[in-house]
Amino acid sequence: MSISYAIRPASPAAHLFHVTCRVERPDPEGQRFMLPAWIPGSYMIREFARNIVRISALAGNRRVALEKIDKHTWRAPPTTQIELAYEVYAWDLSVRAAHLDETHGFFNGTSVFLLPIGLEHEQCTVDVLPPAGARYRNWRVATALAPARGTRRLGFGTYVATNYDELIDCPVEMGDFDLGRFSVLDTPHEIVVTGRVPKLDMTRLTTDLATLCETQVKMFEPRSRRAPFDRYTFLTMALGDGYGGLEHRSSTALVTKREGLPFTGMSESTEAYRNFLGLASHEYFHAWNIKRVKPAAFVPYDLSRENHTRLLWAFEGFTSYYDDLLLTRAGLLSEPQYLTALAKTLTTVTQRSSRLKQSVADSSFDAWIKYYRQDENAPNSVVSYYQKGSLVGLALDLSIRAQTKGKRSLDDVMRLLWKQWKTAGADYHGVSEDQIALTVEQATGLSLAQDIDEWSAGTRDPDYEALFAPFGVNCARRPDVDAAHFALLGIKAAAAHAECKLTHVFDGSPAQAAGLSANDVLVALGGLRVTPSNLDTLLSRYATGDVIELVAFRRDELMRFEVKLATQPPVRFMLEVNQKSTRAARQLRHGWIGRARSASRRN
Ligand SMILES: [Zn+2]
């Protein structure tokens, strides 16, 4: 093998991995090595090279000088063979980077493996070595990387990647973790849980995941029922609080709060558990939609800089649309639970004026500088290509189903995109900017190009009431009066050192008209002291149209504001099945979300 890596948790207490990268036939001009600036799936420049603490190079037994030529690239002198040795600081407890302490180690290849430039297509090996010391003797290794001959699955030893892209697409977890195994239509799956979860109900977890995964495989491959990988691994980190995931071709890395996992004796399906299953569903769906079928701009990824695509609304948005929908079809969410979740997304998107200023295509393109770098003005300026994109998926699906009387759906579009990937093989060039509308037409016979364009490249809202009507679902808009500070003032606030601090001020809101800003600290309302917990109580004495005095600190300057409370509270969406729906409406609805259930399988 011309490229071989070794990685060792050299100092868990200092959070340091020790890594070597040996190249047998380096570039005769002087081999260059680069660490990626970002990790695919998370569209932000993260400059992982900043975590390389020290680095040196050997040619044979001779130490040679490395030249650093930009923020993440080094050049070795011309040699016939070269080995780099470096330390990586790993103290980022997220799915995007690397983390190491005495309880476990986790890394993505983008954080730890230098790429020998020009050799990205070469096969490589990785020796995953254990930390030294008896306390680590129960540690195992979980990864989608293939073990080399002589290495046991879940063991320390040598693993193989067909190229650099595969190497960095297989995160590695090591530790004394919980492991659950299950089979999905004859494909082995496993879930690894790191972190303390008392009385984890692994049987329930693997049973529910198996049902969910089977529903997805059958959606993409109704005939062959074959998964696109030989095995699949859910790497899960359980914390007191946290939520997030990152997709890979044959695995995913997840972070969940402990309450998101089932425990023995938990009879009801809790909202936290449904959220965890939604996350697992989302990342699993990505195995087809973005890890294989992908935007043309990602074929191949350029790991040194931003990769702009205007299509994240289809890849992230449609995946978000399907995550809960497929949980519902799998019987893990009830029909009312699904409609409640959908109504929440409609409410969140519609309450933000950002949807009228930025299209989801523009939001996709600018993900690097806007969606991933949100500030206090984000609700006024950045539309989520996840949430609004999922609503575009919903609008498309409902349009197709209604116009074809249930014979076609967005599922057919996803399957055709999938078929295009399978047919293209090594010639796959990705999905071009105009290909979604074309594929919709090919898969359904409907020309929805204008709607798609206005919903994605433009900012037109779909006509939700009209879209739901043929499905026997009533879509109502009611005044959102639950949170008085939001309804009457148009702000979001948070507790900060026992003070009530404004985090967001919405465009066009009474608070903005009066001159209040994000980061102002509210001191008094109507002559009474404001605390983080009593703001809504104080406001509840007032009605729309009243004028009140608010006193706040901006930095250390005390300021007074006269606020005229909103006359029109923002709207909240409600979705309910019309109990008198016609048989045709019921059939359309069942085709869309599955057979009606009054409650999920376990309530
Ligand atoms: Zn996603």
**Distance between Cα 21 and ligand 1 center (Å):** 31
Q: How far is the CA of 392 from the centre of ligand 1 (A)?
A: 15
Question: Rounded to the nearest whole angstrom, what is the distance from the C-alpha of residue 298 to the centroid of ligand 1?
Answer: 15
Amino acid, single-letter form, for residue 290: I
Q: What is the pLDDT at residue 603?
A: 39
Return the C-alpha torsion angle 255, 257, 261, 267, nearest 10: -160
Give helix 583-593 / helix 387-403 axis angle, nearest 10°.
140
Cα 534 from Cα 522, distance rounded (Å):
11
Q: Is the pLDDT of residue 71 over 60?
A: yes
Distance 474 CA to ligand 1 centre (A): 29
Evaluate the CA torsion angle 422, 427, 431, 437 in order and state its sign: negative
Q: Which residue blocks in 117-201 are alpha helix, DSSP H?
A: 164-168
Instruction: Tell whether the model's pLDDT for residue 597 goes beyond 80.
Output: no
Strand partners, 82: 23
> What pLDDT sits at residue 182?
98
Alpha carbon of 186 to ligand 1 centroid (Å)? 26
CA of 335 to the centre of ligand 1 (A): 23
Alpha carbon of 246 to ligand 1 centroid (Å)? 7
Ranking 46-55, 68-77, 284-293, 589-598 by mean pLDDT, the lowest is 589-598
Chain segment 419-457, per-residue pLDDT in tens: 999 999 999 999 999 999 999 999 999 999 999 999 999
What's the gap in Å between 8 CA and the centre of ligand 1? 30
Distance 345 CA to ligand 1 centre (A): 16
| Residue 420 to residue 82: CA distance in whole angstroms | 42
Query: Does residue 489 contact residue 563 with C-beta atoms inside 8 Å?
Result: yes
Among 54-63, 472-481, 485-494, which stretch is predicted with the lowest mean pLDDT?
485-494
Q: How far is the CA of 511 from the centre of ligand 1 (A)?
A: 34
**109 touches 96 (CB < 8 A):** no
**Ligand 1 centre and the CA of 94: distance in Å?**
15
Ligand 1 mean position, distance from CA 312 (Å): 9
CA dihedral 523, 529, 535, 540 (to 10 degrees): -130
With vertex at residue 573, the alpha carbon angle to CA 414 and CA 270, rounded to the nearest 5 degrees, is 75
Mean pLDDT of the chain: 96
Ligand 1 centroid from CA 407, angstroms: 28
User: pTM of the prediction?
Assistant: 0.96
CA end-to-end span of the chain: 54
How far, rounded to the nearest angstrom, does the alpha carbon of residue 298 sit from its chain's CA centroid?
17
Residue 151 alpha carbon to ligand 1 centre in Å: 32
Q: Where are the beta strands (DSSP E) in 90-185?
A: 98-100, 104-107, 115-116, 124-128, 140-143, 146-147, 157-161, 172-175, 178-184
Q: Report the pLDDT value the prediction gives residue 267, as an integer from 0 to 100.
A: 82
Residue type, 517: S
Ligand 1 mean position to 20 CA, how many Å?
Answer: 32
Question: For residue 28, how far is its CA from the centre of ligand 1 (angstroms)?
Answer: 41
* Alpha carbon distances (Å) from 140 to 104, 155, 175, 187, 194: 10, 6, 5, 22, 11
Confidence of residue 488 (pLDDT cuts 50, 70, 90): confident
CB 254 within 8 A of CB 275: no
Beta strand pairing call for 473-479 and 491-496: unpaired
Q: What is the pLDDT of residue 599?
A: 44
Please give the distance, rounded to the nearest whole angstrom, from the Cα atom of residue 286 to the centre of ligand 1: 7
Q: Is the peptide bond before 77 cis (omega within 30 degrees of 0)?
A: no
DSSP for 274-295 reads HHHHHHHHHHHHTTTBTTTB-B
Give me ligand 1 centre to Cα 60, in Å.
44
In order of 181, 201, 244, 289, the CA distances from 223 in angstroms are 25, 33, 32, 19
Residue 536 sits at the vertex; the CA angle it makes with 531 and 539, to the nearest 5 degrees, is 105
Across residues 389-398, what is the average pLDDT?
98
C-alpha dihedral sign at 22, 27, 28, 32: negative
The pLDDT tens digits of the residues spanning 313-358 come to: 999 999 999 999 999 999 999 999 999 999 999 999 999 999 999 9
Per-residue confidence at 398, pLDDT binned at 50, 70, 90?
very high
Q: Order the strands of the 140-143 sheet from edge to edge.
A: 98-100, 104-107, 172-175, 140-143
Give the helix ranges, DSSP H, for 95-233: 109-112, 164-168, 202-220
User: Is it the case that residue 553 has pLDDT exceeding 80?
Assistant: yes
Whether the per-residue pLDDT at 482 is higher than 90: the answer is no
CA dihedral of 316, 321, 326, 329, whole degrees rounded to 10? -170
Give the Å distance between the CA of 519 and the centre of ligand 1: 31
- Partnered with residue 48 across adjacent β-strands are none
360: CA distance to ligand 1 center in Å? 15
Rounded to whole angstroms, the Cα distance separating 452 from 236 reads 36
- Interval between CA 299 and ligand 1 midpoint (Å): 18
Rounded to the nearest angstrom, the distance between the alpha carbon of 177 and the centre of ligand 1 is 25
> pLDDT class for 280, splitting at 50, 70, 90?
very high
CA 331 – ligand 1 centroid, Å? 22
Contact yes or no for 293/24 (Cβ under 8 A): no
Q: Are 141 and 174 in contact (CB under 8 A)?
A: yes
538 CA → ligand 1 middle, Å: 40
Distance CA 557, CA 386 (A): 39
> How many whole angstroms separate alpha carbon 99 and alpha carbon 115?
20
Whether 600 has a pLDDT exceeding 60, the answer reads no
CA of 289 to the centre of ligand 1 (A): 9
Query: Could you tell me the distance, in angstroms and rounded to a whole number, from the CA of residue 316 to the centre of ligand 1?
Result: 5
Average pLDDT over residues 126-140: 97
Rounded to the nearest angstrom, the distance between the alpha carbon of 315 and the centre of ligand 1 is 8
**3-state secondary structure at position 496:** strand
pLDDT confidence tier of residue 1, bands split at 50, 70 and 90: low
Please give the distance, rounded to the nearest whole angstrom, from the Cα atom of residue 337 to the centre of ligand 1. Answer: 21
DSSP state of 77: P
d(CA 249, CA 109): 14
Long-range CB pairs of 90-93 (<8 Å, 24+ gap) are: 90/15, 90/16, 90/17, 90/51, 91/15, 93/237, 93/239, 93/242, 93/255
Measured in angstroms, how far is the CA atom of residue 243 from the centroid of ligand 1? 13
3-state class (DSSP) for residue 299: coil
46 C-alpha to ligand 1 centroid (Å): 18
Q: Collapse the DSSP code of 106 into the 3-class scheme (helix H, G, I; strand E, B; otherwise coil) and give the result.
A: strand
Expressed in angstroms and rounded, the spacing between residue 600 Cα and the centre of ligand 1 is 25
